[in-house]
């Protein structure tokens, strides 16, 4: 099974308290030999799409969804998710984190990858939200 993660970071490669769709870029990782390895960095070309009309617009959310599906991403990692999380969890497993540095998040995720892999293998949509602090918590997303 292949799992790919998109980390929503700023230009300094750190997580910031912004919604996933407002990130400067996405760092794409793939699960290889039970550890996450970086594949690429992708500029968020949709950051300001349709924002003059509605913050958290479905148009912007769907554009990001299609872009990341094209990169075979399964899991989205961010400090925050906006109202588009209801669109996101139809296609991806959302992981909300509180740590600033991707290296710290990777260490925790590596310890709990079986939870995320289990969620991906046993569901086709309506994925649960995972919250990572020093451990990991799985919860439902209200529709």
> What's the pLDDT tens digit per position in 23-33?
999 999 999 98
The pTM of this model reads 0.91
Q: Which residues contact 40 (CB under 8 A, 6 or more apart)?
A: 27, 28, 71
Q: Which residues contact 126 (CB under 8 A, 6 or more apart)?
A: 89, 90, 141
**Fold (CATH) for 4-139:** Nucleotidyltransferase; domain 5 (3.30.420)
Average pLDDT over residues 106-115: 91
pLDDT at 3 over 60: yes
pLDDT given for residue 51 in this prediction = 56
Q: CA nearest 27: which of 16, 38, 12?
A: 38
> Is the four-CA dihedral 94, 97, 100, 106 of positive or negative sign?
negative
Lowest-pLDDT range of 92-101, 103-112, 126-135? 126-135
Q: In percent, how much of the chain has pLDDT > 70?
A: 92
Q: CA nearest 130: which of 101, 94, 100?
A: 94
Q: Which residue has the tokens 């870029």?
A: 25
Q: Alpha-carbon distance 18 to 134, whole Å?
A: 20
- Binning pLDDT at 50, 70 and 90, where does residue 55 land? low
**SS3 helix, strand, coil % of the chain, rounded to 5?**
30, 30, 45
For the stretch 63-102, pLDDT in tens is: 999 999 999 999 999 999 988 898 999 999 999 999 999 9
Q: CA nearest 66: which of 88, 39, 81?
A: 88
């Amino acid at each position: 099974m292949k799992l790919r993660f998109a980390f929503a970071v700023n230009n300094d490669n750190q997580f910031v308290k912004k919604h996933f769709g407002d990130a400067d870029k996405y760092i794409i990782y793939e699960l290889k030999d039970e550890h996450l390895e970086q594949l690429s960095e992708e500029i968020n070309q949709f950051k300001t799409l349709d924002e003059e009309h509605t913050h958290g617009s479905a148009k912007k959310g769907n554009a990001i969804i299609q872009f990341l599906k094209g990169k075979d991403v399964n899991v989205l990692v961010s400090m925050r998710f906006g109202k588009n999380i209801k669109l996101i969890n139809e296609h991806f497993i959302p992981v909300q984190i509180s740590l600033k540095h991707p290296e710290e998040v990777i260490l925790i995720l590596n310890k709990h990858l079986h939870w995320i892999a289990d969620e991906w293998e046993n569901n086709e949509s309506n994925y649960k939200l995972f919250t990572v602090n020093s451990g990991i918590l799985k919860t439902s997303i209200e529709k």
